[in-house]
């Protein structure tokens, strides 16, 4: 199998032929709208062509800069929020050893994350941890003024300056920001940081195939060319010129919208492999921020199985029947581990002695799927042949393409996020930011 595959068998009982025929016609129209760039938000569709438009020289430059930073530091702090860090973290976590944080003989720096929250304890503990460490910073922000990453950058830059001196910062800080404007662009130019550009026509949550995602992935030691080749493979599979029957992104958009129209308003992303946790976190942002508008949208949730079967499993099995599940399964794990036989058999596990752990996991997956389907929860299954750069690239592009189609089927603009600005306005008003005086007065009156 040279590509990810998707199976809708366990959804067939939840729609009829006329549902499918209507949605099929609709999805064929929306693929053309997306690829012709004639729909809402069409000025943010640069991500469609990234697997082709990232050149060999771009890759070479990213790898060069990543390699230079790797030789200087033991830790790299990736500063960003939302799409500025989730895509790269999804790939890095999926491909890394689960216990890298505890190993001391790594050939690549450990990646730490900041700017994705405003927790005083988290930032204080990070500063304390890095106080005697050799570290560098990759800061990602289009404007440079987004509150969470801007605070983290100010704090960590101050720490780094104390440790190595202001004059050396340019060797240890890389900025990924706007081509021409913004606070971070100005800072990078004035302080001579190496910088990369966030393309104007690519929104943050679709930016994993730009330097936003590729540079951190390269710093972590992974093959960004392989990631892009996987994305290109999926772009070819999901092209509008291909028969719809083979276009798995279109079919995913089609089926999830049929289920939504039939009352299945919450989609749960399920994984049976712990390394896919942040793939689900990235997916939640991609779909939540793209589709949740105008009182519409499928609510994206995520669980890690079998762990969450012992917490959320009861609700999924017997709770409100507005759910469907999309299951991520990995066909072939990288390692092999078998269950030993025990002469005393006090734990009663000898019935599975000699079996691979993955076989037990797969039977848990199958048994759970059968139980949930019997309990009224349709299941979509996405099979990933293995966890490597090629298939991760395929998976992320698949979700991006399907998201654009699905958003258009919902009748919203999948490429803006007007609702995100509401909390920012309130926060700025409460903090007394200049220019928000009217809002400050109004909100203070309200909270009295």
**133 included as an active-site residue:** no
Hey, which residues does 381 pair with through a beta bridge? 7, 327
The 3-state secondary structure of 305-339 reads CCHHHHCCHHHHHHCCCCEEEEEEEECCCCCCCEC
CA 94 to chain centre: 11
**Tokens encoding 345:** 């058999």
Angle between helix axes 277-291 and 389-410 (nearest 10 degrees) is 20
User: What is residue 47's DSSP assignment?
Assistant: G
**289 included as an active-site residue:** yes
- 331 within 8 A of 381, measured Cβ to Cβ: no
Q: Catalytic residue among 120, 190, 245, 310, which? A: 310
Q: Catalytic residue among 35, 148, 267, 289, which? A: 289
3-state secondary structure of 207: coil
Determine the Cα–Cα distance for residues 111 and 136; give it in Å rounded to an integer. 10
60 contacts: CB under 8 Å, gap ≥ 6: none
Q: Catalytic residue among 5, 170, 179, 424, which? A: 424
Angle between helix axes 248-261 and 17-36 (nearest 10 degrees) is 130
CA-derived radius of gyration, the chain = 23
385 contacts: CB under 8 Å, gap ≥ 6: 1, 2, 3, 4, 330, 331, 332, 391
Determine the Cα–Cα distance for residues 279 and 90; give it in Å rounded to an integer. 5
3-state secondary structure of 270: strand
Q: What are phi and psi of 371, to 5 degrees?
A: -65, -45
**116 included as an active-site residue:** no
Dihedral of alpha carbons 273, 278, 279, 285, sign: positive
- 218 within 8 A of 63, measured Cβ to Cβ: yes
Catalytic sites, residue numbers: 289, 310, 424
């Amino acid at each position: 199998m040279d590509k990810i595959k998707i199976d809708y068998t366990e959804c067939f009982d939840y729609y009829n032929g006329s549902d499918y025929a209507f949605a099929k016609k609709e999805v064929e129209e929306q693929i053309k709208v997306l690829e012709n760039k004639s729909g809402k938000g069409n000025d943010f569709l640069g991500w469609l062509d990234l697997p082709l438009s990232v050149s060999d020289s771009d890759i070479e430059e990213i790898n060069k800069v990543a390699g230079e930073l790797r030789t200087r530091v033991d830790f790299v702090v990736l500063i960003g929020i939302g799409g500025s860090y989730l895509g790269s973290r999804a790939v890095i976590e999926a491909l890394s050893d689960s216990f890298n944080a505890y190993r001391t003989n790594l050939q690549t720096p450990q990646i730490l994350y900041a700017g994705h929250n405003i927790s005083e304890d988290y930032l204080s503990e990070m500063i304390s941890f890095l106080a005697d460490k050799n570290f560098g910073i990759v800061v990602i922000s289009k404007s440079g003024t987004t509150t969470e990453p801007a605070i983290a950058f100010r704090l960590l830059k101050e720490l780094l300056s104390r440790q190595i001196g202001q004059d050396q910062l340019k060797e240890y800080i890389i900025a990924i920001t706007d081509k021409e404007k913004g606070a971070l662009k100005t800072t990078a130019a004035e302080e001579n940081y190496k910088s990369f550009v966030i393309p104007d026509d690519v929104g943050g949550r679709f930016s994993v195939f730009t330097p936003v995602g590729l540079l951190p992935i390269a710093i972590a030691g992974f093959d960004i060319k392989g990631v892009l080749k996987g994305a290109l493979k999926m772009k070819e599979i999901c092209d509008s010129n291909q028969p719809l029957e083979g276009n798995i992104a279109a079919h995913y958009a089609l089926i999830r919208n049929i289920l939504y129209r039939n009352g299945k308003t919450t989609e749960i992303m399920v994984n049976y492999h712990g390394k896919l946790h942040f793939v689900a976190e990235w997916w939640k942002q991609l779909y939540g921020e793209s589709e949740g508008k105008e009182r519409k949208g499928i609510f994206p949730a995520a669980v890690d199985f079998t762990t969450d079967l012992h917490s959320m499993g009861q609700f999924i099995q017997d709770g409100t029947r507005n759910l469907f599940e999309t299951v991520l399964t990995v066909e072939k794990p990288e390692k092999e581990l078998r269950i030993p036989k025990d002469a005393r058999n006090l734990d009663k596990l000898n019935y599975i002695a000699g079996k691979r752990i993955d076989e037990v996991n797969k039977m848990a997956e199958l048994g759970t799927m059968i139980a949930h389907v019997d309990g009224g929860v349709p299941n979509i299954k996405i099979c990933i042949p293995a966890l490597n750069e090629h298939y991760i690239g395929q998976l992320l592009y698949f979700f991006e393409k399907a998201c654009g189609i699905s958003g258009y089927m919902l009748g919203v603009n999948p490429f803006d996020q007007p609702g995100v600005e509401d909390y920012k306005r309130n926060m700025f008003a409460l903090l007394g930011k200049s220019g928000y005086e009217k809002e400050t007065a109004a909100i203070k009156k309200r909270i009295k």
